[in-house]
Structure 1
């Protein structure tokens, strides 16, 4: 049963999400009327771009925090996340390889977008399998974070090397992609992303109950009938699909997968995983919509805003843990 406090939190977040979405639709260089969104007018295309922007931010707000939530609960580490463990960096590297080496291949636009998505998801899946295969070799799972930093540094070095030798147009395409240009996403891309995220959320749904058992300890989880190997595969598939699909279409949106689960644990009981998952999605949608408004107002790239917001929060988390 959901508590009264949880219901109030959800209602407040839903109201804030609706207000932030309306603010997004009214943010831009031109003022739009109500008719522009529902009738064919001279500014209908601009209205469609803004609607796509809101939809993509809602999907990003659902998927990135969910990915971080899954990894933090599985590794029992509040600093685990798709960017800290290098998943986002490897997804970015995979997309960089595709952008830099596919410029001579003529493909329809929808196929190009599909291959970008496949490259990001494939790269992140490969890294997740590596991470989880070596996780048993580390007695302290915090070593995985160090491993993730090394992977991120390695991926960054390879991307820099590719940029050094890249042609001008390929370099420009990659830079635009890495900025997190949410205005560049088309309605067809929104549909593709929606399908990917729904698939990831279904896998996530399958993990919550086993994660509750896993949080009580490996031996206790096994006594409850939790298949730990199956859980590991589900976490791999769900978190990689959710984080990599957003990375494919929006570029690397950093630190959101770490700080949103952290805030959710502060405002509600951390042991209630079902409720935590719901709060992560609601709070993630609100934060991404607000970041989108800031990006439109300031013309600062989305990933820069997320980093400026996320880094101080993570530093405070580290200082808080060091005092415990």
Structure 2
């Protein structure tokens, strides 16, 4: 009981940290806006400069919300995959969803070299990239779902996901080989990831997918806890393994697939955050872990975005580069420590 109270207090602190980090994220950028003015704008009060309010409402606030959705969604996806496969190095993209999305976008960007220039003229738009990315993720998702229905071994699903990732990566490589430098450059820029290109309509659609994915994840908490002791023990508790596996895959696909479609492939967040949270809250209970990971992922993504913006400068760094700089050392640290995991 004492530990649970301590964990609850930690979760409350993480929630407050999300709010504070979000305010700093909106405040800092090429134009630094005082936090007091940010708060006034969010509360609908008068702001000293109209340009500040325009920047906050139309650029900074959608970007901050996107960062929160992206970080929390990928972090929860990573937690689900690590629990399902009982593998500390599993992440939200082990099912091949990111590779499927990359294939869809690669066909749009580099399809002109294969299908003709008119193909690119028709399809090259913001929404066409989102649709192509979503279709690519769905294609891989359907294949993984079919595999999960036919296979009893969960690890076999992991291997199939990795094989699909290799297959789609090979097709992307073939397209890249025959594409001119300009089209290849567009694809590379997309692969860097971006949080600042979404309109309010796109943020709303992404939020809808996020809500559904999080609700499915919360509904799977009891079954996730039973999986920690192995599938045989989970079956003895009355857990329907196939149904539970299907729900986890759907939740991960909704979260990781939609985030990749709108923000691009963001690396390492889903892999690193669950482990970082376990250092703060050493609990195996997903009732505690899921909300903590949601807030932890949001904080990390907001911090990475602040660093990527290089406050006070007109330049910015690729968000993927920053998340990798933070995530890669975490993975190395995990391997070096060889600590005992709760899987």
Match of 1:122 in 2: 138
Shift of residue 5, structure 1, vs aligned partner = 0.8
Provide closer, same or farther for how the CA distance between residues 131 and 319 of structure 1 changes in structure 2, counting only shifts above 3 A: farther
SS at match of 1:278: helix
Match of 2:338 in 1: 321
Residues 236-285 of structure 1, C-alpha deviations (whole Å, 9 max, x = no match): 11111111111111111111111111122222233211110111101100
Contact 2:140–2:164 (CA<8 Å) still a contact in 1?
Answer: no
Shift of residue 124, structure 1, vs aligned partner = 4.3
Contact 1:113–1:189 (CA<8 Å) still a contact in 2?
Answer: no
Match of 1:275 in 2: 288
Match of 1:22 in 2: 23
How many equivalent residue pairs?
Answer: 320
Residue 73 (structure 2) pairs with residue 63 (structure 1): yes
Contact 1:52–1:183 (CA<8 Å) still a contact in 2?
Answer: yes
Query: 18-27 or 272-281, which moves further after superposition?
Result: 18-27
Provide closer, same or farther for how the CA distance between residues 183 and 247 of structure 1 changes in structure 2, counting only shifts above 3 A: same
Instruction: Give unmatched runs, 5+ long, in structure 2.
Output: 112-118
Match of 2:92 in 1: 82
Match of 1:193 in 2: 206
Match of 1:212 in 2: 225
Residues 69-90 of structure 1, C-alpha deviations (whole Å, 9 max, x = no match): 1111111111111235543223
Instruction: Give unmatched runs, 5+ long, in structure 1.
Output: none
CA distance in 1, matches of 2:226, 2:317: 43
CA distance in 2, matches of 1:269, 1:249: 33
Residues 35-59 of structure 1, C-alpha deviations (whole Å, 9 max, x = no match): 7665793454422211111000010
Match of 1:100 in 2: 110
Provide closer, same or farther for how the CA distance between residues 108 and 181 of structure 1 changes in structure 2, counting only shifts above 3 A: closer
Contact 2:101–2:133 (CA<8 Å) still a contact in 1?
Answer: no
SS at match of 2:50: coil
Match of 1:238 in 2: 251
CA distance in 2, matches of 1:281, 1:313: 18
TM-score for the superposition, normalised by structure 1? 0.86
Match of 2:114 in 1: none
Among 51, 56, 76, the alignment partner of 2:61 is 51
Provide closer, same or farther for how the CA distance between residues 310 and 294 of structure 1 changes in structure 2, counting only shifts above 3 A: same
Write the mapping of 1:234-273 to structure 2, written as runs, cut at 5 A.
234-273=247-286
Contact 2:191–2:265 (CA<8 Å) still a contact in 1?
Answer: yes
